[in-house]
Amino acid sequence: MRDPDPVTAPAAPAARRATPWRRRRGPRRSRDPLGLRRALADRLLPGLVAAMALLATLAAAGGDAAAGLAARWQAGAAAAVTVQLPPARADAAETVRAALAALPDVAAARVVDPARLQALLRPWLGEAAAGMQTVLPLPVLIELHLTPEAAARLARAPAAEAAALAERLGTAAPGIEVEAHGLWVARLARLAAAVRGVALAVLALVAGVAAAAVGVAVRAGLAARRDSVLVVHGLGAGDGWIAAQFARRAARLAAAGGLLGAAAAVPVLMLLRGLGASLLAADGDGDAAVPGLAAAPGMLAVADLPWLPLLAVPALAWAIGWTTAQITVRRWLRTLP
């Protein structure tokens, strides 16, 4: 009627006038025998999956960030121990530092510059700080950086290990006071692990809800195309063929939703990163935990985004759509002979 194939129906005069657009119509339809393009075309499914994907991306990025922070704390702060020397023994600072540096647990030891100490106190003591030296002598501070093994031991058993470490340091340099950050670092690490666990739980929940949404959409599609499915079943179409029709469509819609959600997450993540970076930059005086961000707070690198979750979410959405549709359709088909 519209575009008879010129080879098989040369006599039909309309064929000569058929435009290329018309000619494509036949084959295009034949790839969608069940008419699922319309039955499973509602914008609801991609929209729902997009919302899920946004949540999943944010949760995954949050979990990532928490893990990164935990690792940073364990490598950085946990490895740092501050030793105080009474002001009276200020002359012995260099001797004590050398003694501590020689210990097997200590990677490096450094006497904190008195000028920097005064700078730290200035906000509280004002300009008087400079003259306070004689009235209120400041202690000498020595910063120790532990070896990775010692830091790991400290992170594992903060209370016991901190005491043992203090004893070892005290034997090497009597009269010092030791302050290890191990305890609160361990607590923060536990918090980070908990945040990670929550992120994983949110991911699992979101995946479950997405699967349920796909399942409902596929059921609606089955109901709408019940007659067509029964016809192809009667013609000898196997479960695999019928399920594949639905799975292809559902997977494509879910993946589109996943892409949409991940794309929507990018500006949100950029914003959060930007806030974090400006915080670190304002705080930092060379000790910033993320040197790259502190160095160029304005230049937020695209490479810093959590690309793994951003790319994994659409792929996961595709897989959820495909699997859910396969299971839903095959289960329904099993009620037929």
Tell me which residues touch another protein (CB under 8 A).
1-5, 7-9, 11-12, 14, 25-26, 29-30, 32-35, 38, 226-228, 230-239, 241, 332, 334-337
| Residue (97 or 249) nearer to another protein, CB | 249
Structure tokens at 9: 């129906």
| Residue (7 or 299) nearer to another protein, CB | 7
| Residue (38 or 122) nearer to another protein, CB | 38
DSSP 259-280: HHHHHHHHHHHHHHHHHHHHHH
* Look-up of token digits 């089955």: 222
Distance in Å, CB of 221 to another protein, minimum: 13
CB 144, CB 80: distance < 8 Å: yes
- Chain center to CA of 27: 43
Segment holding 194, helix H or strand E: helix 182-224
Can you say whether the dihedral through the CA atoms of 288, 291, 293, 297 is positive or negative? positive
Going by the DSSP 8-state scheme, the letter that residue 43 receives in this structure is T
CA gap 312, 326 in Å, rounded: 21
Distance in Å, CB of 332 to another protein, minimum: 8
Structure tokens at 21: 């657009």
| Residue (203 or 237) nearer to another protein, CB | 237
Determine how β-strand 140-146 pairs with β-strand 106-111.
Answer: antiparallel
| Residue (3 or 105) nearer to another protein, CB | 3
Distance in Å, CB of 278 to another protein, minimum: 56
* Look-up of token digits 């039955």: 39
Distance in Å, CB of 208 to another protein, minimum: 24
Distance in Å, CB of 189 to another protein, minimum: 51
